[in-house]
Structures are given as structure tokens and as C-alpha cells.
């Protein structure tokens, strides 16, 4: 049986996805125009108030230890084992951590914050003074992530930039004093991976040795990104086969080191 809750959640995810993708919806209420104002208000309240992301945050706030990033990650994982979610998770997480530790970055960028899980995982490893910027197009997700990061005690290490990657990347130098990026975690919608990689190059944000690490290159899959980084002659690539978070499905991360 399809639950009303599930339908609302699908609609909400669709709205967030549309907002981050190329078909950006300027005004979500347009979609609900055929409804009368009261129904419209009820639907919007339902969609935004009790999302899976909000319930994940509530679960963490009720159970995890404030100021303890590992505890926050553990409770996000625990919640997501019952209700699948897009966090990089506790199987791929250690691979991401290994690459970050080996890279020892001073300036990091993440594309796709979601609830802040990977931002917490990565930022806790960074040496003092390292900058970690994370871009999230969905305002509701960005708000949840900020609360999650605050609760984990990582608020001084992580800066969320709310907006789409396509709009924010070209402004990183002027608005956020970024010279070049040492490490980029690419984990938003896979159709944005290649255009955003090219945008990072065009904006002069990559230097010889900059490390890109892309999630979900097998599931849901990013074939055009894999082809670009493996055949353009601009990157040295390594594949890390693994499994999709909270699932037995096959997935992989791709590390691409810019040749400069
Ligand atoms: C897979 S989730 C990120 C998971 C997160 N990195 C983690 O592991 O905890 C993808 C997120 O990217 C956001 N997103 C999608 N396209 C985007 C874009 N073009 N710019 C910024 N954020 C985007 C979505 O709203 C969603 O919250
Ligand atoms: Mg991912």
C-alpha cells in the first residue's frame, strides 16, 4: 500500500531535486496552484514539516551526544538502516576518510551537503585552519545540515553555502577567498558531476595535484563523468569498488587527481 507520507516525501524530494538540477523551479507553490489555498497550505506544511531529513535530525538530537561527531554519525547511520537515505554512510565513509587523510588538504569543497553527514565525517579529520565549504541547493536540507553540524560541534570547521553549485562555483574566488582547492568531494546529482568538474577547471580552482573524489559512480552511476576524467588526459584516476550505503547494491567512488 502506498502511504500518504511516502507520497509527500517523494514530492518533497522531487522539489529539492528539481531545485538543484537544471530545471529549477523558482516558486514551488506554482505546482500546487490547482489546489485551494487551505489545501495548498496543508500540503506544503506536510511536505516541509515532517520530512525524513527532519526526522533524522530529531532522532539525532534525542539520542546522540552533543559535541561528539562519531555519536552523531552513528545515530544517522542507525536511522538510515531502517529508512534508506543519501548520506555516504559507514561503508563508503572510511574510504572517503582514507583519501582525505592521504590528501591532507588545506582547502576543501563538497558538492551536495544533504544533512551534513559527510561534512561531519570529513571535517573532524582536518587540521586546524583548514577550510571546508559545502554547497547545498535545497534550503530545507541546508537548514537541517546546519543544525546537525552545530550539534556535532563542527560549526567552526564547516561553512554551508546555500545555492546551486553552478551559481556558487564561479563566485568562490571573489566571494569566499578561495585560491585553489586541494580536495573536492563530488556528491550531488550525478548529471552535474561533469559540468561542475569542467566549471572548476574553467574557474581556475584546480591546481596540479587537486584531488576530486566522486561518490555513486556506479549507482546511480556517472558514466559521462567517468569517461571524462579517464579519457581527457587531465586526471590520474583510481576506482574504489564498494557498496551503496545501507544496501548490498554495488557502487564505487572515483578519485581523480588533476594533472595541472
Ligand atoms: C547525495 S546527497 C549528498 C549527501 C552528502 N554528501 C552526505 O554524504 O552526507 C545530494 C545533495 O546534493 C544536493 N544537490 C543536488 N544538486 C545540487 C547542485 N547542483 N548544487 C548544490 N546541491 C545540489 C541535493 O539537494 C542533495 O541534498
Ligand atoms: Mg552519495
Query: What H or E segment, with its residue span, contains residue 249?
Result: none
- Distance in Å, CA 24 to ligand 1 centroid: 14
> Prior bond to 105 cis, omega within 30?
no
The reply, when asked if residue 72 is annotated as ligand binding, is no
* 193-219 confidence digits (pLDDT tens): 999 999 999 999 999 999 999 999 999
Residue 23 to residue 103: CA distance in whole angstroms: 35
Cell 582514507 belongs to which residue? 98
* Number of other CB atoms surrounding residue 27 within 10 Å: 7
Residue 1 confidence (pLDDT): 37
The reply, when asked if residue 10 is annotated as ligand binding, is no
Contact 143, 172 (CB under 8 A): no
Residues in the chain: 260
- Distance in Å, CA 88 to ligand 2 centroid: 5
Query: What H or E segment, with its residue span, contains residue 60?
Result: helix 52-63
Cell 546555500 belongs to which residue? 162
Residue 128 confidence (pLDDT): 96
Q: Is the minimum distance from the CB of 180 to ligand 1 under 6 angstroms?
A: no
Helix, strand, coil % (nearest 5) of the chain? 50, 20, 30
Residue 50 confidence (pLDDT): 81
Res. 169: pLDDT tops 70: yes
* Number of other CB atoms surrounding residue 102 within 10 Å: 11
Q: Note the ipTM here.
A: 0.99
Residue 34 confidence (pLDDT): 67
What pTM was estimated for this model as a whole?
0.85
Give the mean pLDDT of 58-78. 98
Residue 26 confidence (pLDDT): 40
Instruction: Give the closest ligand to the alpha carbon of residue 87.
Output: 1
Pairing of strands 107-111, 181-186: parallel
* 106-150 confidence digits (pLDDT tens): 999 999 999 999 999 999 999 999 999 999 999 999 999 999 999
Average pLDDT of the residues of the chain: 89
Residue 78 to residue 204: CA distance in whole angstroms: 40
Angle (nearest 5°) at CA 240 between 134 and 107: 30
Instruction: Write the DSSP string, 177-241.
Output: ----EEEEEE-S-GGGHHHHHHHHHHTT-EEEEEEEEES-IIIII-HHHHHHHHHSSSEEEEEEE
Look at ligand 1, atom 1, and give the residue with the nearest C-alpha: 86
Residue 132 confidence (pLDDT): 98
Most confident stretch, 11-25, 36-50, 227-241: 227-241
Res. 41: pLDDT tops 90: no
> 23 or 165, which is more confident?
165
> 143 or 2, which is more confident?
143
Angle between helices 69-82 and 139-152 (to 10 degrees): 130
Residue 257's pLDDT band (boundaries 50, 70, 90)?
very high
The reply, when asked if residue 224 is annotated as ligand binding, is no
Q: Is the minimum distance from the CB of 135 to ligand 1 under 6 angstroms?
A: yes
Query: What H or E segment, with its residue span, contains residue 106?
Result: none
> 11 or 248, which is more confident?
248
Residue 88 to residue 69: CA distance in whole angstroms: 15
Amino acid at each position: 500500500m502506498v502511504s500518504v507520507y511516502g507520497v509527500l516525501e517523494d514530492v518533497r524530494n522531487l522539489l529539492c531535486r528539481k531545485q538543484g538540477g537544471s530545471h529549477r523551479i523558482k516558486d514551488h507553490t506554482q505546482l500546487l496552484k490547482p489546489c485551494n489555498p487551505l489545501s495548498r497550505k496543508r500540503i506544503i506544511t506536510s511536505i516541509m514539516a515532517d520530512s525524513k531529513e527532519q526526522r533524522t535530525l530529531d532522532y539525532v538530537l534525542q539520542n546522540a551526544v552533543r559535541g561528539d561527531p562519531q555519536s552523531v554519525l552513528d545515530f544517522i547511520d542507525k536511522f538510515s538502516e531502517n529508512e534508506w537515505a543519501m548520506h555516504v554512510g559507514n561503508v563508503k565513509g572510511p574510504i572517503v576518510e582514507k583519501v582525505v587523510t592521504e590528501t591532507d588538504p588545506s582547502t576543501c569543497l563538497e558538492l551536495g551537503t544533504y544533512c551534513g553527514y559527510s561534512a561531519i565525517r570529513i571535517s573532524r579529520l582536518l587540521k586546524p585552519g583548514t577550510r571546508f565549504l559545502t554547497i547545498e541547493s535545497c534550503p530545507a536540507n541546508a537548514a537541517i545540515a546546519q543544525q546537525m553540524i552545530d550539534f556535532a560541534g563542527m560549526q567552526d570547521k564547516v561553512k554551508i553555502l546555500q545555492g546551486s553549485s553552478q551559481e556558487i562555483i564561479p563566485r568562490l574566488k571573489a566571494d569566499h577567498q578561495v585560491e585553489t582547492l586541494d580536495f573536492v568531494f563530488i556528491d550531488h546529482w550525478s548529471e552535474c558531476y561533469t559540468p561542475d568538474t569542467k566549471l572548476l577547471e574553467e574557474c581556475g580552482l584546480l591546481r596540479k595535484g587537486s584531488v576530486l573524489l566522486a561518490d555513486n559512480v556506479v549507482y546511480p552511476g556517472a558514466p559521462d563523468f567517468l569517461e571524462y576524467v579517464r579519457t581527457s588526459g587531465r586526471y590520474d584516476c583510481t576506482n574504489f569498488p564498494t557498496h551503496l550505503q545501507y544496501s548490498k547494491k554495488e557502487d564505487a567512488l572515483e578519485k581523480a587527481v588533476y594533472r595541472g
